[in-house]
Amino acid sequence: MGIVSPGFQGKPRSAAVTLPPGQYLTEDFPVLSAGPTPRIQLDQWEFVITTEAGVKHRWSWAELLELPSETPTVDLHCVTKWSKLGTTWRGVALDSLFEQVDTAADFALAHSYGGYTTNLPLEDLLDGQAWLVYEYEGEELGAEHGGPVRLLVPHLYLWKSAKWVNGIQLLVQDEPGFWESAGYHDYGDPWREQRYQGD
C-alpha cells in the first residue's frame, strides 16, 4: 500500500464513461476483416494519392517513415457496437501527405491491399483527424489489425479506418466503398448513430 496524501487521490473513480448511443465497452481488440489478411513486403509497399486530375503522389515505406510522426490516443467505435477507449498509435497525419497535393475534390475513396474500399469527405481526413498508422501500443502494427499500415479515422465508425491501406483516390463526386455499397452509411458518425444508409 502506498501513502496517499489527503486531497491528492488521483482521478475520481466514479467518473462515468460516455459512449456513443448503442455502443458497449470492450477491453479486448476484436479483429474484423471481410476477407483474408494480405501480407505485404515492406520493400513492395507503397501509398498513392491520386487526384481528380489523375496526378499520382507516391510514398515508399522509407519515405513514409521520414515524415514527422504523431502518437494519437483515441477511442474506437465499431458499427457492430463495441467501443474501445484510449488506444495509442503511431503514424503520420494525412495533413503531412496532403501538403504536396493540389486538389479541388471534396471526396476521398480509400483503397487497400486486398481490394477493400471506403469513402469519406476529404475534409474528414485533414486538420489532425486522420493518420496512416504503423504502430499500436508501442509495437509494430500486426497484420490482423491492418499492418504494415492502416488508415485511422477515429471520429467515424471503424469501418472507415481501412486496414492495409495503399491509396486515396480523390473524387469530385462521392462514390460508395465496400460496406457503403452494402447499405452502411456514407458518413458514419457514431455520435449520431449513422450506421446504415438513411440513419
Ligand X SMILES: Nc1nc2c(c(=O)[nH]1)N[C@H]1C(S)=C(S)[C@@H](COP(=O)(O)O)O[C@H]1N2
Say which entry of Mo ion, ligand X, none residue 114 contacts (CB below 5 to 8 A, set by partner kind).
Answer: ligand X
Among ligand X, Mo ion, none, the one that 33 touches (CB under a kind-dependent 5 to 8 A) is: ligand X
Number of residues that bind Mo ion (CB under 5 A): 4
Show contacts with Mo ion in window 62-81 (CB under 5 A): 78-79
Provide the grid cell at 103.
486538389
Tell me if 32 contacts ligand X by CB under 6 A: yes
Shortest Cβ 136–ligand X spacing (Å): 9
176 interacts with ligand X by CB under 6 A? no
Taking CB within 5 to 8 Å according to partner kind, which of ligand X, Mo ion, none is near residue 19? none
| Cβ-Cβ contacts under 8 Å for 28 (sequence gap 6 or more) | none
CB of 77 to Mo ion, least distance (A): 9
Q: How far is the CB of 184 from Mo ion (least distance, A)?
A: 9
> CA-CA distance, 141 to 90, in Å (whole number)?
9
Contact between residue 112 and residue 127 where contact means Cβ atoms under 8 Å apart = no
Q: Which does 132 bind (CB under 5 to 8 A by kind): Mo ion, ligand X, none?
A: none
Instruction: Answer left, alpha or beta for residue 10, where phi above 0 means left and psi between -120 and 50 means alpha.
Output: left
Q: Is 2 helix (H, G, I), strand (E, B) or coil?
A: coil
CA distance 143 to 38: 8
Of the chain, the end-to-end C-alpha distance in Å amounts to 51
- DSSP letter for 161, please: S
What is the binding site for ligand X (CB under 6 A)? 29-34, 78, 112, 114, 116, 145-146, 158-159, 161-164
